[in-house]
């Protein structure tokens, strides 16, 4: 089985207004080499208010970075004050949408059922979900990582066909590693990502070979190469280090290190 093309995604969370976003993307584009784009896919996920500006820069400067969103609602339209529909994102050429990030689940009460509806809605709008999963420190210490993560994946993908699952992205982001400077060891991250692939294989057979599984949680230029070497890790979902184009570009060209 050949390894899948890695996807390195920058989740800006609630950082950078649209002016800053334009500068960030332009700086990033100077730092990424043509060879990087052959070796890895790259996406950036700015806040909603930046999307249109970032889309314009990416398209007018022909920068082959995919535009991503951080969240969406599952309905196409209606009385849902403050929400954004998947079709609205698709119209701006957003191609990837993060769904079920732990911050959405923990801080805003998103449930597995809602995450599942969002995954389906993103697919219906012909975009790719990045379905997030991950355990808390307490769950990890109690030996509950596998149960938590497999439960989130099964619930998030419930009702999908094999061909839908085959194209999507799963991000394993242990909650205790997000924004803390603590990273799972490459071996630990590999073990959980292999278990996730097995959950996909059990439910959707061949889709498991093509699903891309990212690791996220304090990924830095220094830690990316060893993580990316693991057979079941097909990319990274990067928060803090993606806010700085220099750091993010060094993660994107992780192959050149070590």
As annotated, the active-site residues are 101, 173
Q: Is 152 in the site for ligand 13P (CB under 6 A)?
A: no
If the CB atoms of residues 46 and 217 are measured against ligand 13P, the closer one turns out to be 217
If the CB atoms of residues 73 and 101 are measured against ligand 13P, the closer one turns out to be 101
Contact 47, 14 (CB under 8 A): yes
Distance CA 107, CA 103 (A): 5
Q: Is 218 in the site for ligand 13P (CB under 6 A)?
A: yes
What are the b/e assignments for 230-252, b being 16+ CB within 10 Å? Answer: bebbbbbbbbbbbbebebbbbbb
Question: Tokens 């690791």 identify what position?
Answer: 215
Residue among 21, 213, 238, 251 that touches ligand 13P (CB under 6 A): 238
Q: Is 68 in the site for ligand 13P (CB under 6 A)?
A: no
Q: How many residues bind ligand 13P, per CB under 6 A?
A: 14
Q: Is 134 in the site for ligand 13P (CB under 6 A)?
A: no
Q: Is 240 in the site for ligand 13P (CB under 6 A)?
A: yes
Torsion of CA 68, 69, 71, 77, to 10 degrees: -110
Q: How many C-beta atoms lie closer than 10 Å to residue 19's C-beta?
A: 10
Q: Is 217 in the site for ligand 13P (CB under 6 A)?
A: yes
CB of 160 to ligand 13P, least distance (A): 22
Question: Which of 211, 206, 204 minimizes the C-alpha distance to 4?
Answer: 211
Residue among 173, 226, 234, 247 that touches ligand 13P (CB under 6 A): 173
Q: Is 115 in the site for ligand 13P (CB under 6 A)?
A: no
**Candidates 61-69, 151-159, 171-179, 197-205 — which segment interacts with ligand 13P by CB under 6 A?**
171-179
Q: Is 216 in the site for ligand 13P (CB under 6 A)?
A: yes
The mark string for 91-110 relative to ligand 13P (x by CB under 6 A, - otherwise) is ----------x---------
Footprint (CB under 6 A) of ligand 13P, residues 8-27 = 11
Residues making contact with ligand 13P (CB under 6 A): 11, 101, 173, 178-179, 216-219, 237-241
């Amino acid at each position: 089985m050949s390894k899948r093309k890695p996807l390195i995604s920058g989740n800006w969370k609630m950082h950078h207004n649209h002016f800053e976003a334009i500068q960030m993307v332009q700086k990033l584009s100077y730092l990424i080499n043509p060879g990087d784009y052959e070796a890895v896919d790259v996406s950036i996920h700015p806040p909603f208010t930046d999307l249109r500006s970032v889309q314009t820069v990416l398209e007018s400067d022909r920068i082959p970075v995919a535009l991503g969103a951080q969240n969406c609602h599952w309905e196409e339209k209606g009385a849902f004050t403050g929400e954004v529909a998947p079709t609205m994102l698709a119209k701006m050429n957003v191609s990837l949408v993060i769904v079920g990030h732990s911050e959405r689940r923990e801080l805003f009460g998103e449930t597995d059922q809602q995450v599942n509806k969002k995954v389906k809605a993103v697919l219906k709008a012909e975009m790719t979900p990045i379905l997030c999963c991950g355990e808390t420190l307490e769950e990890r210490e109690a030996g509950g990582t596998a149960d938590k993560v497999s439960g989130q994946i099964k619930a998030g993908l419930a009702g999908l066909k094999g061909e839908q699952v085959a194209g999507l992205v799963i991000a394993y982001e242990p909650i205790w590693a997000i924004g803390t400077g603590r990273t799972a060891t490459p071996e630990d991250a590999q073990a959980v990502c292999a278990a996730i692939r097995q959950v996909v294989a059990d439910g959707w057979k061949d889709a498991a070979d093509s699903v891309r599984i990212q690791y996220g949680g304090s990924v830095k230029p220094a830690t990316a190469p060893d993580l990316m070497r693991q057979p079941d890790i097909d990319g990274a979902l990067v928060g803090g280090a993606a806010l700085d184009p220099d750091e993010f570009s060094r993660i994107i060209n992780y192959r050149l290190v070590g």
